[in-house]
Structure 1
Amino acid sequence: MRAAICAAILFVTAPALANDTAAVLTTGGLEFVSHGEIAMESEDLYISSDEIRVTYVFRNDGDEDIDLLVAFPMPDIVPDHFSPVAFPTGPSDNLFEFETTFNGTPVDATLHEYAYAAGVDRTDFLRGLDLPLVPISSEALNAVDELDDDMIRQLLHMDLAIPDEFDAGAGWETHHWPNWTYRATYTWEATFPAGERVTVEHRYKPSVGGTVGVSFLSEPYEDYDPASAYRQKYCTDDTFINAVRKTLTDPDEPWSAPFSETWISYILTTGGNWAGNGIEKFRLVIDKGSEKNLVSFCGEGVKKIGPTTFEMVKENYWPQQELEILILQRHGDQ
């Protein structure tokens, strides 16, 4: 499972302006719009499995100051209770440990939270049951599992819960876990002075997916070819594949490579929403974490700039696809 990480700030015209670009806060969330006078002059992006850091420089090309409600949507949290997904572990009121500054001044952002199941907003329903909205929290896990049978049946019908049957040594038992998607957006008011630049900085903890072993060396099965899928998604070339094959402890067992997979997704295409439809200067740095780790992603002109870091720099960049990163983390001392 993977969770998408949003790459660009979205602007919502402030409700006080009361025109056709006014923000509407509905049960489905904030309606985001870009602003034709605001250009993204640069984006400096750092991605690792431990932290996302991004610095934007925006420029108001208009003749008047612009007051905006700035919105930053966080990656969805889609619970997967049966796969090794590393979810953020911050407090429930700031799960991603999100921090932001506007021209160097810390911003006290407002958190908007929603819960979805089967594409339907179930936020009010869950709040009516006094259930925590963060589905991966221990509070939510315990609260759902303690509901009575009638309510569990209703949650199952609404795709808000998932059953788990297992034998822990005392006979078969059934538990139920939260199954809704958690969606969060931070917003704050900001003024973009006419003809001037402003700097917006964020940092937060990513949500990453992965496997306990290497899966893309396996033979094709049914209609799925792991090697082809990874080549298309992560640009795993022959050099990368051969480097992994050399580490196999059993040449006949593709899972014997001493790595686990980490997946990070980052949405880049929203960078085309600004005036000029692009990012005037874009810099990406990806940190694989350890010199023993391997990394693969699709990019042009990528340079190694440190023992664990790789850089890509573009001008007048109009992203056409999202960024998908594969990090192979070496096991222990192997």
Structure 2
Amino acid sequence: MWLSFLRYCILIFGVLTVIRWVLRKKWGSVDKTNEIKSKGKIVLITGANTGIGKATALEFAKRDANIILACRDLEKAREAVVWIRQKTTLGQLICMQLDLSSLQSVRNFCKEFRSKYDRLDILINNAGLMVPTYSYDRQKTADGHEVHFGVNHLGHFLLTNLLLEPLKASAPSRVVTLSSMAHSWGTIDFDDLNCEKTKIKGTLLINPLYSNSKLANALFSKELSKRLQGTGIRTYALCPGMVMTDFGRNMKGPMIWVLSIISPIIQFLLKSPKEGAATVLYCSLSKNLINESGEMYQNCGKWDPNSRIQLKDEDAKRLWEESAKLVGL
């Protein structure tokens, strides 16, 4: 009996190993020989204390850049710095407080940033949250906006707009915004942007309002590119793929146990944070993208989002106009 069980375990392990090898080939990797020089560049990463953001900060530190870790929790940001310093002594690491759920916090952050820096080479809009459907209770931001739309979209929308001058001063510069393949399940209801009337009918884990916010990210990057033509600022949106991060931090009850049980298998099939950061680095540094802007990327290559859902110019323009009103621009 035990021998048969052992054989099954070995077989399953072998199959998972082969699947992961195939997936890694598909995911692509960073080509350091085809990157713009990042030594000394000022790189701002939101949510750099965990997951993809922390992995991205590490990679930029290895390239001797000056990294601003813009995080809501400064203590966790400092812990991330300690973690990075255990792996490299290169680069400068500066922690600054930024709470994307508060528009006033965004304004305070930008005021402080501009008092210290007159340029910004790369802005990476990475931070985000997703409250699972089963535990979602119409949470709001400090300004009364639906929490996914407010944090994932409006916070970054205001942040980017308030940092355009230092980005222009560093041209050619880049704005990289993390969207998701979940954007294809999203919708933008301009009569209900705060999702007061929206019925929550998502899967057990993927909240449809998260999908809406990721669609907003994609549309934002598209419209931003149009508005920045001639400034030397390039914009890129990307899907990092399915990444094994602290996704379960907002989970409660039995789902925590379920996730812990299936976690060993999931780790074989999902990207590590470092692998998830590869496309972020590609969009931030690849020489291949010098003449591109407003596109979407996945697995270190261009991705046509219209194969899943059409990103309409008129929707991008209207979302920009409505977002500007909501944040007071």
Larger radius of gyration: 1
Structure number with the higher strand fraction is: 1
The answer to which structure, 1 or 2, has the higher relative contact order (CA under 8 A, 6+ apart) is 1
TM-score normalised over the length of structure 1: 0.25
**Larger helix proportion of the pair:** 2
**TM-score, normalised relative to structure 2:** 0.25
